[in-house]
């Protein structure tokens, strides 16, 4: 497994999901009824999962395990990016290290929210499925001659 490649592709995927997919989803009409599962939110999750699936295919995951590992790496990259973006955003807006440190406890409730579980889902599930799909078409390796399945 090429760790550097998976981290870089995951970072690209995080950028595409947070910027390109979010911009496309903003074209859908906003919901006036409130609630969590709006058309924009559902479309975001669907399009983000498609992006993750395409990036997993590009990465070249060839088994369920390699696809799931790529998905977990993508999830971790997304969490780390959100953390770094949050603290550096406060630092650049306020110029104060004490303000930056004061927001650190706010990150843990973010991790405990259901949206983090959705993030995990749209990174791991499509990646594992694409890895499984690619792996099922590969011939069995290292089979002794004369042995059939």
Instruction: For the chain, 149 residues long, give each residue's pLDDT as a single digit of tens.
Output: 688 999 999 999 999 999 999 999 999 888 777 777 888 999 999 999 999 999 999 999 999 999 999 999 999 999 999 999 989 999 999 998 999 888 888 888 888 888 999 999 999 999 999 999 988 866 655 545 554 54
Question: Which has the closest alpha carbon to 74: 32, 15, 30?
Answer: 15
* CA distances, 30 to each of 14, 39, 45, 115, 119 (Å): 23, 7, 15, 19, 21
Q: What is the pLDDT of residues 27-61, one digit of tens each?
A: 988 877 777 788 899 999 999 999 999 999 999 99
Question: Which has the closest alpha carbon to 132: 40, 65, 50?
Answer: 65
Q: What is the mean pLDDT of the chain?
A: 89
Q: CA 78: distance to chain centroid?
A: 6
Domain ranges of the chain: 3-27+36-136
């Amino acid at each position: 497994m090429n760790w550097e490649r998976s981290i870089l592709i995951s970072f690209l995927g995080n950028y595409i999901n947070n910027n390109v997919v979010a911009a496309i989803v903003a074209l859908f009409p906003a919901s006036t009824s409130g609630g969590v599962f709006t058309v924009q939110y559902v479309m975001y999750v669907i399009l983000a999962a498609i992006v993750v699936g395409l990036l997993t295919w590009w990465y070249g995951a060839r088994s369920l395990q390699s696809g799931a590992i790529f998905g977990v790496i993508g999830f971790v990259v997304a969490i780390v990016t959100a953390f770094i973006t949050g603290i550096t955003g406060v630092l650049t807006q306020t110029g104060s290290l004490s303000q930056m440190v004061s927001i650190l406890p706010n990150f843990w409730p973010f991790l405990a929210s259901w949206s983090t579980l959705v993030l995990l889902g749209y990174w791991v599930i499509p990646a594992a499925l694409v890895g499984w799909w690619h792996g099922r078409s590969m011939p069995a390796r290292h089979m002794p001659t004369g042995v059939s399945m």
